[in-house]
Amino acid sequence: DIQMTQSPSTLSASVGDRVTITCRASQSISYWLAWYQQKPGKAPNLLIYKASSLESGVPSRFSGSGSGTEFTLTISSLQPDDFATYYCQQYHSYSRSFGQGTKVEIK
């Protein structure tokens, strides 16, 4: 199975900050990576698919990059609505798997 490791687990930031979350795969997954945002009590919301493609309706301050084993999600200017937990998911291997999540908190 492919293990997905996100860092950091928690991130404290202020409105307007540039935020970067990293996701590493235990083996190459090419570009088969998605990023989700989840708020308490809500279903996840797809932000990025195929590592760098922005899902329709998602603000352009969100961007994704990477391929192979290392990926990043960047929020160019953090907004109040962005305080949430973020997950990466690989959908390359037979068994899809998620990172453990990164909680973005208000500093």
Partner 1 sequence: QVQLQESGPGLVKPSETLSLTCTVSGGSISSNHWSWFRQPPGKGLEWIAYIYYSGSTNYNPSLQSRVTLSIDTSKSQVSLRLSSVTAADTAVYYCARGDYGSGQIWGQGTLVTVSS
Size of the site for partner 1 (CB under 8 A): 23
CB of 100 to partner 1, least distance (A): 5
86 lies in the site for partner 1, by CB under 8 A: no
61 lies in the site for partner 1, by CB under 8 A: no
Residue in 11, 24, 44, 72 binding partner 1, rule: CB under 8 A: 44
2 lies in the site for partner 1, by CB under 8 A: no
Q: Give, in order, the Cα–Cα distances in Å from 72 to each of 40, 42, 94, 97.
A: 23, 23, 23, 16
58 lies in the site for partner 1, by CB under 8 A: no
Residue-wise DSSP of the chain: ---EEEE-SEEEE-TT--EEEEEEESS--TT-EEEEEE-TTS--EEEEETTTEEPTTS-TTEEEEEETTEEEEEESS--GGG-SEEEEEE-SSSS-EE---EEEEE-
Binding mask 12-31 for partner 1 (x = CB under 8 A): --------------------
- Interface positions with partner 1 (CB under 8 A): 1, 32, 34, 36, 38, 42-46, 49, 55, 87, 89, 91, 94-101
